Structure 1
Amino acid sequence: MKKMSKLEAILWNIAFPGFSQLLTGQYIKGVLFVALEFIMNVNSRFNQAIMYSFLGEIDHAEAITNYQWLMFYPCVYMFAMWDAYRSAMPSDEKFSFLPFVFCAYFVTVGLMVSPKVTILKYHLGPVFLPMLFLLPGLIIGFLIKFLLSIKFHEN
């Protein structure tokens, strides 16, 4: 099994969930993540939504998006990233899952509220608003990880 750095593991899984697992020889897990990504992506029409969003056609992106399928995406995506990170992290690292979990929560909420939320007169839609919700997820996840690390380091 090939060992990779935490950064490499994260970057490959950002590119496509399951790639890090495939590169490290975890073939069953990698194929499962790739298959889940493909199934969710096709059924939610996420690639089309991304394309329309980047073209500035947010209303069109919302119209073609299947939210029921797309709501699975953040959790599977973040879990695949955490799994790749976990296989590359030192065994004594604690609470590394927290930023990933909170990102999954917040991106899912961002997706759910995206049809109704406008920020500074801009309607960001099902792609850009969930991306913005990633930031508070990261901040809260890292903050809780930091606080728990301090608490458990003291004991």
Structure 2
Amino acid sequence: MNRNPFEKLMWSIALPGLGQFLNGKQFKGTALLILEFLINVQANFNQVIILSFHGEIVDAIKHADYQWLMFYPCLYFFSIWDAVKDAGGGKDIYSFLPYVFAAFFVTVGLIFSSSLTIFGVLLGPVWLPILFVFPGIIIGFIIKKIINNTS
């Protein structure tokens, strides 16, 4: 079996559950894929993505079911972390922290996505959460480094 953690990371970014299938974890991959499909459909996420890409942010906000969409960041980043871990990556005990903080920050970005503007631009439920990935990962790595240095 190919144990390339980067490959599993990339496939999990493409679609939650694919990294698990590549790791030979069929049950876990199927569960994550079903959850992804359920949340995606219930949240109208594909429609929200299409509207966002067309710059129709207000319509994207109107079509988003935030009650369902709030589940997506945790599912997404857990799927990525789990696939990397099962492929032999993330051997450090705190390797999960960048993924956890990314999920947290994306969720916060999603919460504020219907009203928060950056330089007067409303980014909506796709673009603002994507921007929040970066500070989440950075803070996760900083906290991981601090913990590792004090342990």
Work out whether the TM-score is over 0.5.
Answer: yes
Q: How far apart are 1:16 and its partner, in Å?
A: 0.3
Rounded Cα–Cα distance in structure 2 between residues aligned with 1:30 and 1:67: 25
Aligned to 2:69: 70
Rounded Cα–Cα distance in structure 1 between residues aligned with 2:86 and 2:26: 14
Distance 1:126 1:81, change over 3 A: same
Distance 1:144 1:57, change over 3 A: same
Rounded Cα–Cα distance in structure 2 between residues aligned with 1:75 and 1:24: 20
Deviation per residue, 1:103-140 (Å, 9 max, x gap): 11000010001111000011000000000111110010
Q: How far apart are 1:146 and its partner, in Å?
A: 1.1
Which residues in structure 2 correspond to 1:1-155 (within 5 Å)?
A: 2-89=1-88, 92-152=91-151
RMSD: 1.2
Rounded Cα–Cα distance in structure 2 between residues aligned with 1:117 and 1:103: 19
Rounded Cα–Cα distance in structure 2 between residues aligned with 1:91 and 1:113: 31
- Provide structure 1 residue ranges, at least 5 long, that are not aligned to the other structure: none
Q: How far apart are 1:4 and its partner, in Å?
A: 2.4
Q: How far apart are 1:93 and its partner, in Å?
A: 2.1
Deviation per residue, 1:12-63 (Å, 9 max, x gap): 0000000011112100000000000000000000111011001000011011
Instruction: Tell me the SS of whatever aligns to 2:115.
Output: coil
Rounded Cα–Cα distance in structure 2 between residues aligned with 1:61 and 1:30: 29
Report the identity percentage.
48
Instruction: Tell me the SS of whatever aligns to 1:36.
Output: helix
Rounded Cα–Cα distance in structure 2 between residues aligned with 1:53 and 1:90: 33
Q: Contact between 2:114 and 2:124, CA under 8 Å: does it hold in 1?
A: yes
Runs of 4 or more, structure 1, over 4 Å off, are: none
Size of the alignment, in residue pairs?
A: 151
- Provide structure 2 residue ranges, at least 5 long, that are not aligned to the other structure: none
TM-score (normalised: structure 2): 0.96
